[in-house]
Amino acid sequence: MSFEDLLEHECTIKLSTVTDSFGVETKGWANSSTGNLCAIQERSGKIESTKVGQFHEYTAVGYFLPDANLKPRGGDDQFDLIVLTAPTAMSGFTYQVIHVSDASGRGHHLKAYLKRVPSS
């Protein structure tokens, strides 16, 4: 069984964007790619660093192929989003990308810490 066989979900990656129209900034998201294979596991935890570091709580962990365009970004107070498109039971679930790492250190896959966005 290959790693790709374990990625049982599909998602759309939405990148945070800022557009400037006559000095008025509008924040939003643009689809980066669709049909990305992933595996999302609902579990909570936190990422902590040193005294001057960062603190983030997450509600899910996602696994992606190494070429997925995933970054936490968030410098403009808007994180990139993951929107599940399959399976049908989870379609529409949305997550903020909190942190992304190359868990194996060999470019095998990406591990992303995610925070579920309540549906509106």
Q: What is the pLDDT of residue 59?
A: 94
Average pLDDT over residues 52-66: 86
As given in the structure block, the two tokens for residue 23 are 């000095």
pTM of the model: 0.81
Number of domains, the chain: 1
When the pLDDT of each residue in the chain is averaged and rounded to a whole number, the result is: 84
The CATH number linked to 72 is 2.40.10.370
pLDDT tens readout for residues 70-120: 877 655 567 889 999 988 888 889 999 988 888 777 888 899 999 999 876
Residue ranges making up the domain that contains 39: 3-117
